[in-house]
Amino acid sequence: MIDHRLFRATLSVLFAAMMVVAAQAAPCPGNPDALGTARDLPVDAARTPRVGHKQFPQTLPLSPGEVVLTFDDGPWPNTTERVLDALRAECVRATFFLIGKNALARPALAERELAEGHSIGYHSFSHPMLDHMPIGAAESDIDRGITAVDTALHAPMGQAAAPFFRFPYFASTAPLLDWLAGRHMVVFGADLWASDWNRMTPDQELELILSRVEATRGGIVLFHDTKAQTAAMLPAFLRALKTRGFSIVHVVAAGGEPPTQ
C-alpha cells in the first residue's frame, strides 16, 4: 500500500531539486562558471515571523550548504555600487535592508538594487537604538523608514519592497515585535555575520566569514554594503562559496498583505 505522505514528501524533494538544477543551469551573461542563485525562498510572516539564530530560536528552512546574503545600512556611494557589481558578475541575488534617510539621499542606488532582482527590506529611518526609545517614537521611526524607502523606489508602499524588517543593532523589544507581526512584517536577524563593523583588511574579513560559513554550513549572513572592506572582499567570497560547494538562496516575499501604516 502506498504511503501517500511519504509519496508527497518525495515529490516535494524531487521538485525542489529540479528547481535548483534549473536555476543553476540558467546562463549568467559573461560568466559561464558563475555561482548563480540556486533558488528563491518565499517567506511570509504567517509562517516565519522572526528568523535568524543570532536573535531568535528559529531561522529560515535552509538545507546544509545554503547561504542567504543580506546587506544592511545602505545605499552608500561607491561601496554599494561595488557590492552590486560583484553580485551581478556572479548572477547572485541578495537582500538589502535600507536605512530610510540613505535611500532618500541615493534613490538611484535603491532603484538599481530592485531592478537587478534583489529583495529590498526596511531598516528604520535613522538607525537608532529602538529599544532605548519610547515605543511611539520607535514606531514612528520605523514608519518613516518604510515611507522613505518606498518613496525612493517610486512605488506604492509595500509593493516594491518586501515586508521584511531588520532592527538596527538587533535591538528589538517584545512590544515592537508584536507590533511588526500585526503589520505582517518578517523580522530578520542573522545566523552569522562578517563582523565588518570592525576594522580589518579584506583578506582578514574573507578568512573570518569563510570560517564561520564553514562552521555553520550556511545560513543567513549579515554584511554591510557601507563598508569598503566588504565591497573589496565580496568577489573572492562568492568564488570561494562556489568552489566549496555552497549555494545561494534568495528570500522573496510570499505575497499576502503589505505592511500597513
Owning domain of residue 188: 35-253
Give the model's pLDDT for residue 18: 40
Segments of the chain scoring below 70 in pLDDT = 1-26, 157-158, 256-261
What pLDDT shows up at residue 27? Answer: 83
Question: Cell numbers 538562496 label which residue?
Answer: 249
Residue 187 domain-assigned? yes
pTM: 0.88
The structural domain count of the chain equals 1
Q: Quick check: is 249 in a domain?
A: yes
Confidence (pLDDT) at 158? 58
Rounded Cα distance, 120 and 152, in Å:
11
Q: Is residue 89 part of a domain?
A: yes
pLDDT digits (tens, 9 = 90+) for 192-248: 999 999 999 999 999 999 999 999 999 999 999 999 999 999 999 999 999 999 999
Amino acid at 166: R
152 in a structural domain? yes
- Residue 240 forms part of a structural domain: yes
Compute how many other C-beta atoms are within 10 angstroms of the C-beta atom of residue 122: 29
Predicted local distance difference test score (pLDDT) of residue 21:
43
The answer to whether position 212 is within a domain reads yes
Q: Which is the catalytic residue, given 72, 73, 150, 225? A: 72
One of 127, 184, 224, 250 is an active-site residue; which one? 224
Distances, alpha carbon 220 to alpha carbons 24, 38, 247, 250, in Å:
20, 15, 12, 10
The cell for 239 is 568564488
pLDDT for 173: 97
Rounded Cα–Cα distance for residues 121 and 241 (Å): 24
CATH code of residue 218: 3.20.20.370
Show the cell assigned to 194. Answer: 562578517
222 in Cβ contact with 197 (< 8 Å): no
Catalytic residue list contains 72: yes
Q: Is 12 contained in some domain?
A: no
* Residue 5 covered by a domain: no
